[in-house]
Amino acid sequence: MKIKTSIQGYPRIGEQREWKRNLESFWKGEKTEAEFEQEMKDIRLERLKQLQKAGLDYIPVGDFSYYDHMLDTAVMFDIIPARFADSQPGSALDTYFSMARGTKGAGACEMTKWFNTNYHYIVPEIEEGWVPKVAHNKPLADYLEAKESLGIEGKPVLVGPYTFLKLSKGFPEAEFSRYLDILLSLYAKVISELTEAGASVIQIDEPALVQAETEAEFHLAKQAYENLANLVPDASLLLQTYFESVDHVKTLLQFPVKGIGLDLVHGKERNLQQLRQEQIPAGKVIALGVVDGRNVWKTDLEAQKHLLQQLEPGFAEAEEVWIQSSCSLLHSPVSLKQEVNLPAELKSGLAFAEEKLEELQLLKNNYANTVDSSWEDHQSSLKKFRETYQKLEKNEEVRMAMRPVPFSERQSVQEKKWRLPLLPTTTIGSFPQTQEMRQARTAFRKGSLSTLHYERMVKDKIADWVRIQEEIGLDVLVHGEFERNDMVEFFGEKLDGFAVTRNGWVQSYGSRCVKPPIIYTDVTFAEPMTVKETAYAQTLTKKPVKGMLTGPVTILNWSFERTDVPKQTTAFQIAQALQEEVKALEEAGIEMIQIDEPALREGLPLKQEDHCYYLDWAVNSFRASAEKVKDTTQIHTHMCYSEFHDIIDSISAMDADVISIETSRSHGELIEVFENNVYDKGIGLGVYDIHSPRIPEAEEMQEIITKSLGVLPAKLFWVNPDCGLKTRTEEETVAALKNMQAAAEQARNALKEKQL
């Protein structure tokens, strides 16, 4: 069996997040376009050198992006909404970033999760009147750059036509096949130029096929690839799936492509069951994802070697067997080099992207030969980790959780307690994190800034923003979260059972990077985490101040969790710990508490058949975090940038008194959900997009409010931004919130006039 190594993609951000710094510096106008492009090229080539040095047989090219790979594909095919063409940007790069971030006159394209990961992509908008063309063959440019600059015969990577169209919007669903045919002609041009340039294999990513559950869907995809094969008969394509199993591996093997890629980590059992029943056709390549691309734990190479040996009889006629990551390493931190502060026993069980490259090489080198010392060292360190953290000891039984009094009864007592105006205004929680505040937090952590000085700075920031909120006229205030680095990492630092990294960054969206904590043992409450700052803010105002917590499911989904422990067990442990924090907030007089769950929908399994089980334990975990509060305590939650139409019942079952959900970036499409679904609890549909520097006018926000009130009762409706304001500037934040408050007051007046 001829074994080769490959990966589907590699982190873009660089070992020290130099990609992020270059991007944000350009946005601020500190670099010219030429300087920006040159630095991005340097980062791109340095990244390729690392992959070359690692000894990969097939090095991906074209997966590097200035913002997002789906946005790259849309721009490559000139899928640019008319509102950006009308805004007359200065260059093609301006148009590209305008689509991602918006402009004064044009709202940004929708952003949503990339399958069930914490990465978010820009949703392509295919408008009527689009003239299909290849505006720029980006994969070809990247392929030639790698060849000419470094002598690398790279493996170009493209988002596949089926997946690209499945994740796009704007075209009639009934015309999916017609638009797919149009795209195929564009893909054929890109692929033919790559083939003519010498590309020996081209990776076509089709993760959407793991969600294709019927033969009809697979037949449509198969027909598309048959048409593509007719257009580019000489192309050598590897059709890559990941994130889950494929329901019809036998059919996939019949696609007219050089090879197929399957995930043997996520969806392992289903894929394995089918593989064991099939013989790989002669001349085909089979690419197997045997190293987890989405988590940080070392691979048990002995187990994966044994697995490959079991599958070997079915690969007898295969041209090559590739061993690779389960998906792009985009979802992994870059390198363990900087992690000098982690406990040695924990570090011995970890592998980031760079170390995963080494694992692939070890597995290839030792597959047929006697294991060498490097193999033994790897397995020995993994054994050391397992012996130290053999299994969780607590494993508290997951039980049904529920507030004893239903919302219909809580609502009346809460109305009497809070006496809020119609359409109350609030924010989601965080306020701008200035450079000064970030530097102070870093200095405090390093010990170069005293606790007294740092806490004074935090208090001063809190006081400033309480004053600003009152001046704007907001009805429910927040303290601003100036003491927090990240909404999940902050709690990872405070709860027992978590470890935080020094440099374990991954890209979430655009230049936004997060540092997920690592759950390595039982999660327990240590001491109050948020009470001091929230209680201080409450002393500064007579208006209610919300306590701000991250929910158990989001903490779990945005951490690197133990893969040998059921998710629901860990989520319930986190919920129990948060329950203690909620109690501490209540005791300090904070009786309006927001428990954010932006990742609850993100964690939804990709297979429809697995949805109910996940939603049952995820919703129950949220309820467990708040089940013991007083009836007068108002529990809020927040969700953003996901599709909610199919889980509205579960959102209601969370039993939060108020939920806020994004609707601005999707241009109000979520509102349509409530035309056919009754939602009987408090709700705020975000009225403006905080991920864009664009400041919408009050009239624009009022339009969303008015449209929302057409399907939701005014007495339950809240007005808020669609997410936290941490990434915005103070000037942008104040201007937008003033407009939001004006929009709410205009809507209140309109309702009063209607009642007269």
Which structural domains are found in the chain, ordered by start? 3-388 (3.20.20.210), 412-755 (3.20.20.210)
Residue 372 pLDDT greater than 80, yes or no: yes
Which helix (H) or strand (E) segment holds residue 537: the answer is helix 531-539
Nearest Cα to Cα of residue 332 among 356, 310, 314, 309: 356
Catalytic choice (266, 331, 378, 691): 691
pLDDT digits (tens, 9 = 90+) for 447-489: 999 999 999 999 999 999 999 999 999 999 999 999 998 899 9
pLDDT classification of 446: cutoffs 50, 70, 90: confident
Residue 691 is a catalytic residue: yes
pLDDT digits (tens, 9 = 90+) for 661-673: 877 666 566 677 7
Of 246, 294, 238, 301, nearest in space to 269 by CA? 246
655: left (phi over 0), alpha (psi -120 to 50) or beta: left
Check pLDDT > 80 for residue 335. Answer: yes
- On whether 493 is known to bind a ligand per the annotation, the reply is no
Task: Please state, in angstroms and rounded to a whole number, the distance separating the CA atoms of residues 335 and 47.
Answer: 12
Pick the range with the lowest mean pLDDT from 265-279, 464-478, 640-654. 640-654
481 annotated to bind ligand: yes
pLDDT at residue 642 greater than cutoff 60: no
Q: How far apart are the C-alpha atoms of 349 and 345, rounded to whole Å?
A: 7
At 686-734, the pLDDT tens digits run 888 887 888 989 999 999 899 889 888 999 999 999 889 998 999 999 9
| Alpha helices by DSSP H, 89-213 | 92-101, 138-150, 161-166, 176-196
Query: Was 118 annotated as part of a binding site?
Result: yes
Cα distance between the two ends of the chain:
82
Query: Does residue 624 carry a pLDDT above 90?
Result: yes
Residue 347: closest CA among 298, 387, 300, 302: 298
Higher pLDDT, 356 or 368: 356
- The answer on whether 327 is annotated among ligand-binding residues is no
Q: What is the pLDDT of residue 313?
A: 94
Task: Tell me the pLDDT band of 395, cut-offs 50, 70 and 90.
Answer: low
Q: Tell me: the pLDDT tens digits for 180-215?
A: 999 999 999 999 999 999 999 999 999 999 998 888
Average pLDDT over residues 322-330: 98
CA geometry: angle 694, 695, 700, nearest 5 deg: 115
Tell me the pTM: 0.92
Tens-digit pLDDT profile for residues 99-155: 999 988 888 999 989 999 999 999 999 999 899 999 999 999 999 999 999 999 999
Report whether 114 belongs to an annotated binding site. Answer: no
Distance of alpha carbon 656 from alpha carbon 476, whole angstroms = 17
Q: Is 175 assigned a ligand-binding role in the annotation?
A: no
Residue 430, annotated as binding a ligand: yes
pLDDT for the residue 58: 98
CA atoms within 13 A on the CB side of 283: 6
pLDDT of residue 689: 85
Question: Taking residues 534-549, what's their average pLDDT?
Answer: 98
Collapsing DSSP to helix, strand or coil, 164 comes out as helix
- DSSP states of 340-364: -SS-HHHHTTB--HHHHHHHHHHHH
> In the predicted model, what is the mean pLDDT of residues 285-289?
98
CB atoms within 10 A of CB 656: 26
276 is in an annotated binding site: no
Q: What pLDDT was estimated at residue 672?
A: 73
Determine whether the annotation assigns residue 705 to a binding site.
Answer: no
- Stretch 517-541: mean pLDDT, rounded? 97
Asked if the model's pLDDT at residue 87 lies above 70, the reply is no
More confident residue, 698 or 445: 698
Is 638 assigned to a binding site? yes
The residues pairing with 40 across neighbouring beta strands, listed in sequence order, are none
Average pLDDT for residues 541-547, to the nearest whole number? 98
Any binding-site annotation on 732?
no
Mean of the per-residue pLDDT values of the chain = 93
Q: What whole-number distance in Å separates Cα of residue 301 and Cα of residue 522?
A: 26
109 labelled as ligand-binding?
no
512 is in an annotated binding site: yes
Is position 723 annotated in a ligand binding site?
Answer: yes
